[in-house]
Amino acid sequence: MSAPPLATATPGEAHARLVGLLAGRRTVALTGAGMSTDSGIPDYRGPDSPKRTPMTYQQFMGDAAFRRHYWARNHLGWRFMDASRPNAGHRALAGLERAGVVGGVLTQNVDLLHTKAGSRNVIDLHGSYAQVRCMGCESRISRFTLAQRLEEANPGFAESVSAATGVEIAPDADAVIDETAHFRMVDCERCGGILKPDIVYFGESVPKHRVEAAFAMVAGCELLLVLGSSLTVMSGLRFVRHAAKNEIPVVIVNRGPTRGDEYATLKLEDGCSQTLETVTAAL
């Protein structure tokens, strides 16, 4: 089946077209890192983003040095993400759900900002920063509980690093610091297993039940609205391909090209917050 033609337009023209597409259609939103940049959370692939190399699942599980480096950085970075607040785009999307325009949200973000903004039907495709999982016994604890244990094992670490170098925040509840060799990790209190953020790493698969629920959400919609995702990874692109294959219109709002542009009925080179506020006002 051939893909629908890609239509490009100025923001004003595109907003009007988007309003027309949303009217009377059951819509599902698929969001990426560009949705949260207005909340101060950086993304990986935005036009102004520095080049970053995220840790892979294989590195984390296979090398204690990588795990130590990750947990030292995360011990600082998670606090920033926990303190982040929804932006105007998150609030507008939650409002569109309450108005019955948006039926659900699939998000690749781990920041929980959609839930904080009031969205109710949310599938966190890649998990969330707020939970930690034992890779041995599968038990889960909150990130706050782990923070207390790490603080006891590394008294004064966060304060000393922040005072010496300052802290640059990176995506996925991470912070950019170099001195991590003396950081002490902790293991699962129940079985002694490796603790890992309950986040889907690069090289790791999204849990099957989560993927099935997401496909079911897309199958029940009449418009897929992509917000702030370059669709570089298959975990998001597959839903765009699925919608296009089933003749469900796809609208993409993103600054810069995406891997899904060829499937788009409409592409807006604009910010998520501005677009959603404009659309909400029009509707």
Quick check: 245 and 1 in contact, CB under 8 A? yes
H or E element that contains 102: strand 102-107
26 is in an annotated binding site: no
Ligand-binding annotation for 255, yes or no, is: yes
Cα 109 to Cα 36: distance, rounded to the nearest angstrom: 8
Beta bridge partners of 199: 127
Which residues are part of the catalytic machinery?
126
Tokens of 240: 């765009």
- Annotated binding residue 221: no
Residue 137 known to bind ligand: yes
Neighbours of 29 (CB within 10 A): 29
Looking at residue 72, its amino acid is A
Strand partners, 225: 29, 251
Tokens of 124: 């966190």
Tell me how far CA of residue 66 lies from CA of 60, 73, 96, 270, in angstroms.
6, 11, 42, 37
Residue 162: which region, alpha, beta or left (left: phi > 0; alpha: psi -120 to 50)?
Answer: alpha
Q: What angle do CA 282, 100, 37 make, to 5 degrees?
A: 65
In the beta sheet, which residues pair with residue 123? 106
Q: Residue positions in the annotated binding site for NAD(+)?
A: 108-111, 228-230, 254-256, 272
Q: Residue positions in the annotated binding site?
A: 108-111, 134, 137, 188, 191, 228-230, 254-256, 272
Q: Residue positions in the annotated binding site for Zn(2+)?
A: 134, 137, 188, 191
